[in-house]
C-alpha cells in the first residue's frame, strides 16, 4: 500500500496534547506554502470546538457521509485564517464508528474515501488528530497515512499508554502494512532533569528505549545524563529537551490559534517546525 503525504497524531489515551501538536504541525506546513488539510477525527470534537467551529460540529453533513456513503469530503472542508483547510469533527462520529464495525473494508474507508480524494484534489499533506483510544477511527487514521507522531507527557500513565499503543495498535498494523513512527515526543515538560522527577524519567525512557524515534530537540547523550547525576553541569547548562510547557501554547489553543499566530516569538515554535520537517522528509 502506497504511503500518502501526511501524518497522524495519536496515542491510546487523551490529554497528552495530540490536538495542540496536530494544529501546530499543520500550521507550520501551511506556512511553508503547502496545501494542507487538518482533520479532527476525534468524536469529542475538542479541536473543532477550540477552533470555533461549533456550527460545523452540529451540522447535518458530516464525516459519516464519505466514511459510509462515499460522498465528497471536499464538501465538508472549512477555510481557516491560518493557511490550511479544516475538516471538523461532528457529534455523530461515535455512531459512525459503531457503524464502521460492520461495514465492508472498514479499516480503509478513511483512506479511500477521505484522504485519497483530498490528495487527488491537490492537497499536499493531511494531518489527523486521531481519537484518544483504540477503535475503528483510530485504526483508520493510522492505516490511511501510515505515519504517526506520538506525544507523551510526564507520568507513568503516559509511558504505559505508549507501551499499550505499540503492542495493541502499532504492531498489529505493522504486520499488515508499513507504519512509520516519525517521532515520540515529550510534551508539556516543566522540570529540570538534574533530579529523578517525572520529566527525567520520561526523557530517559524515550532516549534509551526509542532512540530512533526521539526528535532532535529531545535527544540527550548518555554522558549528559551521567554528568547531571554527578552534579557536574551548571544550572545554566542543564538541558531542556522536549516541548516545554508554555503559557503562550495553551493560551493560543484556548483562543483557537496555532502558537505562531498568537506568539511568533515562542521559544518552542522551532520544535513544531522540526516535526513538520519530519513529515516533509517522510512524504
Q: What confidence tens digit (pLDDT) does each residue in 150-182 have?
A: 999 998 777 887 887 888 888 888 888 888 999
Average pLDDT, the chain: 90
**What is d(CA 43, CA 55) in angstroms, rounded to the nearest whole number?**
15
**What is d(CA 133, CA 136) in angstroms, rounded to the nearest whole number?**
10
Burial of 168 (0-12, 13-18, 19+ CB in 10 A): exposed
Would you list the domain boundaries of the chain? Answer: 6-282
Report field, pTM of the whole predicted structure over 0.85: yes
Which of these, 128, 131, 91, lies nearest to 111 by C-alpha position?
Answer: 128
Kindly report the length of the chain.
283
Count the Cβ atoms, other than its own, within 10 Å of residue 198.
16
pLDDT value at 133 more than 60: yes
Range 24-41 average pLDDT? 97
Range 36-52 average pLDDT? 91
Range 252-278 average pLDDT? 97
Phi, then psi, of 143 in degrees rounded to 5:
-70, -35
Range 224-240 average pLDDT? 88
Which residues make Cβ contacts (< 8 Å) with residue 88, sequence separation at least 6?
A: 40, 45, 48, 51, 53, 56, 57, 76, 78
Range 116-122 average pLDDT? 95
Select the highest-mean-pLDDT range: 7-16, 197-206, 225-234.
Answer: 197-206
Q: What is the pLDDT of residue 219?
A: 96
What homologous superfamily does CATH list for 6-282?
Answer: P-loop containing nucleotide triphosphate hydrolases (3.40.50.300)
Q: What is the pLDDT of residue 14?
A: 65
Q: What is the pLDDT of residue 247?
A: 97
Amino acid at each position: 500500500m502506497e504511503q500518502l503525504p501526511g501524518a497522524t497524531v495519536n496515542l491510546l489515551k487523551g490529554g497528552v496534547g495530540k490536538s495542540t501538536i496536530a494544529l501546530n504541525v499543520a500550521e507550520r506546513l501551511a506556512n511553508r506554502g503547502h496545501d494542507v488539510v487538518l482533520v479532527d477525527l476525534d468524536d469529542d470534537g475538542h479541536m473543532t470546538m477550540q477552533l470555533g467551529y461549533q456550527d460545523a460540529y452540529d451540522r447535518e453533513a458530516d464525516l459519516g457521509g464519505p466514511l459510509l456513503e462515499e460522498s465528497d469530503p471536499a464538501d465538508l472542508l472549512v477555510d481557516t485564517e491560518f493557511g490550511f483547510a479544516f475538516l471538523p469533527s461532528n457529534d455523530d462520529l461515535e455512531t459512525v464508528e459503531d457503524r464502521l464495525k460492520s461495514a465492508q473494508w472498514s479499516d480503509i474507508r478513511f483512506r479511500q474515501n477521505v484522504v485519497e480524494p483530498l490528495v487527488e484534489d491537490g492537497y499536499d499533506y493531511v494531518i489527523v488528530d486521531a481519537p484518544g483510544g483504540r477503535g475503528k477511527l483510530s485504526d483508520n487514521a493510522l492505516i490511511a497515512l501510515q505515519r504517526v507522531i506520538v506525544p507523551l507527557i510526564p507520568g507513568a500513565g503516559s509511558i504505559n499508554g505508549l507501551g499499550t499503543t505499540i503492542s495493541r495498535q502499532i504492531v498489529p498494523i505493522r504486520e499488515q502494512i508499513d507504519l512509520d513512527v516519525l517521532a515520540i515526543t515529550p510534551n508539556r515538560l516543566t522540570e529540570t532533569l538534574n533530579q529523578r522527577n517525572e520529566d527525567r524519567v520520561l526523557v530517559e525512557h524515550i532516549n534509551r528505549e526509542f532512540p530512533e524515534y526521539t526528535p532532535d530537540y529531545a535527544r540527550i547523550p548518555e554522558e549528559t545524563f551521567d554528568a547531571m547525576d554527578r552534579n557536574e553541569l551548571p544550572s545554566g547548562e542543564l538541558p531542556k529537551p522536549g516541548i516545554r510547557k508554555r503559557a503562550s501554547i495553551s493560551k493560543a489553543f484556548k483562543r483557537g490559534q496555532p502558537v505562531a499566530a498568537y506568539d511568533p516569538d515562542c521559544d518552542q515554535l522551532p520544535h513544531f517546525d522540526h516535526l513538520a520537517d519530519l513529515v516533509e522528509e517522510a512524504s
